Structure 1
Amino acid sequence: MKGLSTAADHSVLWFGIAALLATRKGASRKAAVRGVLAIAGASATANAVLKPLLPRRRPAAAELPAYQTLADPPTSSSFPSGHAASAAAFATAVALESPKLGLAVAPVAGAVAYSRTRVGVHWTSDVVAGAAVGAGIALATRRWWPVRSTDEARARPMDAVPELPDGEGLVIVANANSGDPNVDPADEVAEALPAALVLRAEEGLDLGDQLEAALARRGGWVRAVGVAGGDGTVAAVAAVANRHGLPLVLVPAGTLNHFARDVGVYDLQEAVDATNAGEAVAVDLGLVEAHPGMGADPKSAEVTRTRYFLNTASIGSYPELVQLRERWQPRYGKWPAFAAALVSVLRKSERVEVKIDGEWRLVWFLFVGNGPYHPRGMVPAYRPTLDSGLLDVRWLRADLHFSRARAFLALALGALGHSRVYTQREVRELDVELRVPGMLATDGEVVEEAGRYTFRVAKDPIPVYRRDEDNWTGRDRPYVG
């Protein structure tokens, strides 16, 4: 108990476990980051706030045997236990991201908390109060960084999609430039779907044009189009699927695969299962029309151009924010990376003057999500639904004094949605004019520059193949309808 209690001094024990958890990507790494954040909050609350406010004498450790007491016992207030607060904060935070890891950490946290009474430096009530503070702080992190139980978003099933045994009737584009440069997804797709027509994305050739040419050649044989690549590649193919009224087969082969995770397709095998079963869900497709601007010369040769997006579109500093977030996300997790990127970008960003709903506004950025993002009133983290028919519009005002500082403070307090600098609404269509033509980014990539943009959701959702898990009895067993 003495050794364990000492090891937890200054949370060294927890930082060591966090470092070990951070060596693995996914839930383990997110658990480590959330755990460290929770420790910071719990330690500050217990040691810097509660101890000075609630002074209490520590137990008379001199009455215990010498072998049981610490050589250098603390002299600060006994209430509450900072060790117990940090232990409970870390264990609770880890459990939020991974219940299995939480079960492994909880006994160690409990032992650390007990050790403080065993070595005679805390009363039992100190430990109980400290644990309550720590657990509460860890649970409160969900306000800033929501916990998502599953990546898969809700979407209504669509019945009228064909079964594609072995890929029969499928034309699928594979982009080797997406994701791991050492892996060519075309070879894996061809092996898993031998009856499909697999097109390799060619350098310098527009993906949409390449797919359109293949559809013209194959004519009535084509029953679905597919894509193996990242979100940018998926958006290009989804636009073709929308134009031809064809269902989409999705194979995640990019770096982060945001859209595929939202749909609930995590690997090639799931795409194979869904096409064999003929099961799909309705997914909205966002589109934005780029106009030359209200004040442009009507005789100008510039014409309206239409872009499609799967996840988000943005104007202002948001594209740079997304790029930074995606660079840091594999290391720190989505929300911490987003928060750090927001702070970094707003320090050096320039204001953009836009006209929304007939009113000119100064903003730092304008965010448009293809569907409502969660949580409301905070930074967008994920979509709970894929077929709402709505756009999630958010912007950060730049016309108020100290707007960036106010945004940072509101973000830190988890009160961004209550701040005057932050605006959010859900609409079916949005028209935005810029005083000076500005850049548009879709799905994190800068794609356009224009003076006016019109955002909307495509009239009809596209069917995207996704397995109905209620009808599935096991990946390696036959399909049971």
Structure 2
Amino acid sequence: MSAHRWFARAALLCALAAALTPIAAAGLRGAVLLLAVGAGGVVLTVAALYWALTRRGVLRAAAVGVAVVAPLVVVVLFVAAHLLWVVLLAAGFAVLALLAARAALRRPHSPVLEHLAPEAEHPFLIMNPRSGGGKVTKFDLPRRAAELGAEVALLDGPEQIDVVALARAAVARGADLLGVAGGDGTQALVAGVAAEHGLPFLVISAGTRNHFAMDLGLDRADPVAGLTALTDGVELHVDLARINGRPFVNNASFGVYAQIVEDPAYRDDKTRTVLARLPDLLTGPGRTRLTARLPGTEIDAPQAILVSNNPYGSSDLAGLSRRDRLDGGVLGVVAVTVSSTRAALGLLRRTRTRGLTRGLATSVTVEADVPRIPVGVDGESLLLDTPVRCTIEPGALRVRVPGVRVRRRPAEPAVDWVRLLELAGPRRG
């Protein structure tokens, strides 16, 4: 029998053990009380956290107090009833069930197809010495690139330089490869120029986060490794997304996060700005009403929308993790609606009817009740005209990467208990 079938059976047995442990130790009535107390504590804590985010003053302070005290009360009640060990044992079985379920549902990951990379005779690289805390200077990237025959343009002046114009001018002079050592926002703009001219694009992970580099399998702690692709590299043909025509390589965020980041006070005091703005943005009159439209689906009045160049893993709602691949030809869409305490509690179940919508589409249109809205695009705050349209261009970008890259495990699959039952059953045929 396959390992997947054994893992599926182990997951079901551990889940059954987690359910039966309280009954065996405390009886049916005791198990019901355990479940009621534990679930009540979770519900009360989540509700209190929601109130802490959507209220001010005394109500916020009281909600924070409830969110802290509720879990402690639950633990005290379990200890007083001499049942804490039962809860911990059941929780251990539940964790084992989850691990086994993911192992059963995990499938082999097929890597992006690699293509031969023709030698670049006139590579042109744009480097931002201020990005990533000074990685360009720290790793001596300009000198290393020059030694490999690349022309380097440094963004080291106080003035704002148009990197798109800079890249297009290089193409006009005969550049046959474009690259960037900097943040994802700059990467995306220059990648758009490379895609327009059918040129290979080199990613050097010299930014702060460089999620695009991570999803390409590059080592973000070693930007020098990206340069080796100039002499020993392969090409990956990946997708490029656009928002109102502007390219992006990671994601575009609408709603609460984008509006907070747009606030000038956010840079000076992030925590105070978030706490001050959230009540109005989540439930008050200061909230912009958004509507997301994708083929066959309309999402009305979400507080936050994330549109990504290929979907993120099912456990990641904020675009802070990673994508299994960049050549799926689709946009990932995640929308969160938490306009009430009930909706906030419903997020625990992660279902569309309870405040969370996930989807895939080749185009997404976001409408608003105002003519312009703030949007976070690859970490940069922009103000865009509505409606805002996001599209995907499959295989539009030729990315030059080193032949040897970081081997990464794919994102964990979502647990599907119906599928587990099918796997655990006898082999058909």
Name the TM tier (shorter chain).
0.5 to 0.7
Change (3 A) 1:213 1:275: same
Q: CA deviation at 1:461?
A: 2.9
Q: Which residue of 2 aligns with 1:310?
A: 249
Change (3 A) 1:134 1:247: same
CA–CA separation in structure 2 for the residues paired with 1:415 and 1:316 = 22
Change (3 A) 1:212 1:392: same
SS in 2 for 1:409: helix
Q: Which residue of 1 aligns with 2:381?
A: 446
Residue identity matched to 1:288 = I
Change (3 A) 1:425 1:322: farther
Which of residues 248, 258, 264 is equivalent to 2:201?
Answer: 248
Q: Is the 8 A contact 1:353 1:436 kept in 2?
A: no
SS in 1 for 2:231: helix
Q: Is the 8 A contact 1:172 1:199 kept in 2?
A: yes
SS in 1 for 2:388: strand
Q: CA deviation at 1:181?
A: 4.5
CA–CA separation in structure 2 for the residues paired with 1:137 and 1:184 = 49
Change (3 A) 1:379 1:233: closer
Which of residues 288, 300, 304 is equivalent to 2:243?
Answer: 288
1:424 aligns with 2:358: yes
Q: How many percent identity over aligned positions?
A: 28
Q: Is the 8 A contact 1:377 1:415 kept in 2?
A: no
Q: Which residue of 2 aligns with 1:104?
A: none
Residue identity matched to 1:437 = P
Q: Is the 8 A contact 2:177 2:200 kept in 1?
A: yes
1:362 aligns with 2:301: yes
CA–CA separation in structure 2 for the residues paired with 1:154 and 1:192 = 32
Determine which structure has more spread, i.e. the larger CA radius of gyration: 1
Q: Which residue of 2 aligns with 1:460?
A: 395
CA–CA separation in structure 1 for the residues paired with 2:180 and 2:187 = 6
Which structure is richer in relative contact order (CA contacts within 8 A, separation 6 or more)?
Answer: 2
SS in 1 for 2:390: strand
Q: How does 1:63-462 map to 2 (within 5 A)?
A: 77=82, 79-80=83-84, 132-133=89-90, 135=92, 155-164=111-120, 168-181=121-134, 184=137, 187-194=140-147, 195-201=149-155, 202=157, 203-217=159-173, 219=174, 222-265=175-218, 266=220, 267-289=222-244, 306-320=245-259, 346=282, 350-354=287-291, 356=293, 361-375=300-314, 378-380=317-319, 381-397=321-337, 403-411=339-347, 414-439=348-373, 440-462=375-397
Q: Is the 8 A contact 2:145 2:152 kept in 1?
A: no
Between Structure 1 and Structure 2, how many residues are aligned? 315
Residue identity matched to 1:455 = C
SS in 2 for 1:387: coil
Change (3 A) 1:360 1:258: closer
CA–CA separation in structure 2 for the residues paired with 1:139 and 1:465 = 41
CA-to-aligned-CA distance 1:314-334 (integer Å, 9 cap, x gap): 32223246789xx99xxxxxx
Change (3 A) 1:242 1:269: same
Gaps of 5+ in 1: 1-39, 56-76, 81-125, 147-152, 290-305, 329-337, 473-481
Change (3 A) 1:198 1:409: same
Change (3 A) 1:193 1:50: farther
Q: Is the 8 A contact 1:270 1:467 kept in 2?
A: yes
SS in 1 for 2:395: coil
**TM-score, reference length from structure 2:** 0.61
Provide the aligned C-alpha RMSD in A: 4.2
Gaps of 5+ in 2: 1-67, 103-108, 268-273, 408-429
Q: Is the 8 A contact 2:184 2:379 kept in 1?
A: no
Q: Is the 8 A contact 2:288 2:369 kept in 1?
A: no
